[in-house]
Structure 1
Amino acid sequence: MTATLTVDMELTHDTTNMVIPAGQGLAFRIRAGDRFRLVDPEGGQVGDLFAFAASDPTEYLSAAHTRTSVSRLFPRVGEPFLTNRRRPILTLTADTSPGAHDMLIAACDPARYEAFGVTGHASCADNLRIALSRLAITTPVVPQPVNVFMNIPVGADGDLSWLPAPSRPGDAVTLEADMDCVIVVSACPMDLNPINGDRPTSLAIEFVAPRT
């Protein structure tokens, strides 16, 4: 059985798989109760995940409000991600990866790459805006993303380390929508530090049939 979901240009697709090319982004709509997997086909790739309330894009998944609610740097399986209005928007229902994920690091943007001396580089912030524009949606802010598979351990002294994503080929997280929402995933294009290993690669979205 496949899940029927509304994606991209308001077209309804009966599909269970969409590929996000390396360095690019994808937006899709999902209804409350539906589930999707974010899959790392080759391993070692970070995915910047954003979620917006379908009825009002000024309500969005907030890392800060989520950390406050779960009293952790990242939810455990079975715990929700909250919006900036303190409402559950997604719940983490499964995780086959080693469990390294991040909600501290901002999305890469043109200014980040310019600091490295590079102009015109693809970024997760631009991928967010481009993907949303395909659904005729704009956002005045780039929220703090959920950086799936990103490995940024916090040392005892508070220092952050930038390590390669430890996800293995085929590792995935499964998320359930707690409200109708718009999801954006960026296959992070960062290639100037080690978070994506040797090179950025693609990610995939697999839709999961709703619970019966």
Structure 2
Amino acid sequence: MKPAQQGLIPARHGSMALVDAGQSIRVINTHGQQVVDTWALCRGDPAEYLSMEHTRAGLSRLRPRVGDVLLTNRRRPILAITADTSPGVHDTLIAACDIYRYHGLGCTGYHRNCTDNFNEQLKQLGVPPRQPPCPLNLFMNIPWKADGSLEFAAPPCRPGDYIELRALMDCVMVFSACPQDMLPINGAECTPTDAHYSVMGA
């Protein structure tokens, strides 16, 4: 078994890990209130990626849970959820934040964002900038109501809560500790914090 590979997802910034099929990756909400936008791309062909649209259709649910298999845009299994110590509140609906989102919220200058974090990480592999797929927003709390309305609420997580994913193909995993500080998705204080990950060998 390979030794565990530890990694930091700095507050407001991104991080990347190469994960082999059969390995597991644990994403840790270190301080308990941080949303982590998460992507998985097929290492052999980054045009194939973890797709929230296809996963929702496959699961017939809005929130994935332990035991679920997540699908690519070609409807192939890419990740399986094997453990989750958090309350299990994760989002599959909301697009990665971008500079336009912050302008819409009233920001007049540049604001770090998950879209740029995604592209900064993939640039290291020579992947050209692109509009990222809709992420798996780990620990993000988006309650919905019977009338179809959505709310942006604080995560119900505790410090150290984690979710564990097993790779079902060789993946590039990209993470962003969401920089959102204008809505309470990173807690009532609207203060992004570090998160961590650990890749465990098979």
What's the TM-score, normalizing by structure 2? 0.95
| More displaced stretch, 62-71 vs 200-209 | 200-209
Find out whether 1:157 has 2:139 as its counterpart.
Answer: no
Superposition deviation, residue 31 in structure 1:
0.6
Unaligned runs of 5+ in 2: none
1:24 counterpart = 2:24: no
Contact 1:107 1:144 (C-alpha < 8 Å) held by counterparts? yes
Larger mean CA deviation between 130-139 and 41-50 belongs to 130-139
The Cα of 1:42 is off from its aligned counterpart by: 0.7
- Contact residue 99 and residue 110 of structure 2 kept, 8 A: yes
Any idea what the Cα deviations from partners look like across 1:57-90, whole Å, max 9, x if unmatched? 1111100100000100122211111000000111
Runs of 4+, deviation exceeding 3 Å: none
Compute the displacement of 1:114 (Å): 0.9
Q: Which residue of 1 aligns with 2:132?
A: 142
- Of residues 113, 116, 122, the one that matches 1:126 is 116
Instruction: Give me the whole-angstrom Cα distance separating, in 2, the residues matched to 1:140 and 1:123.
Output: 14
Is 1:75 paired with 2:64? Answer: yes
Q: In the alignment, which of 43, 49, 62 is matched to residue 51 of structure 2?
A: 62
Number of the residue aligned with 1:169: 159
Give yes or no for contact 1:2–1:207 (8 Å, CA) kept in 2: no
* 1:148 counterpart letter in structure 2: L
Whether the 8 Å contact between 1:39 and 1:172 is mirrored in structure 2 is yes
The two structures have a TM-score, normalised by structure 1, of: 0.91
Contact map agreement 2:65 2:88 (CA 8 A) in 1: no
Deviation per CA, 1:109-167, whole angstroms, max 9, x where unpaired? 01001112212100000000001112222353310000000000110111101100111
Matched, 1:194 2:167: no
Secondary structure at 2:48's aligned position in 1? Answer: strand
Distance 1:139 1:111 in 2: 16
**Runs of 5+ in structure 1 lacking a partner?**
4-14
Q: Aligned AA for 1:187?
A: A
Distance 2:172 2:2 in 1: 19
CA contact (8 A) 1:58 1:139 kept: no
Q: Distance between the aligned counterparts of 1:86 and 1:145, measured in 2? A: 16
> What RMSD in Å do the two structures reach over aligned CA positions?
1.2
Tell me the distance in 2 between the aligned counterparts of 1:146 and 1:139.
19
Amino acid at match of 2:177: A
The equivalent residue for 1:111 is 100
Q: CA deviation at 1:173?
A: 0.3
* Inter-partner Cα distance in structure 1 for 2:79 and 2:63: 13
Given the alignment, which residue of 20, 25, 29 partners 1:40? 29
Residue 209 of structure 1 and its aligned partner are, at CA, apart by 3.0
What is the aligned-residue identity percentage?
A: 49
The answer on whether the counterparts of 1:27 and 1:135 sit within 8 Å (CA) in structure 2 is no
The answer as to whether partners of 2:13 and 2:179 remain within 8 angstroms in 1 is: yes
Count of aligned pairs: 199
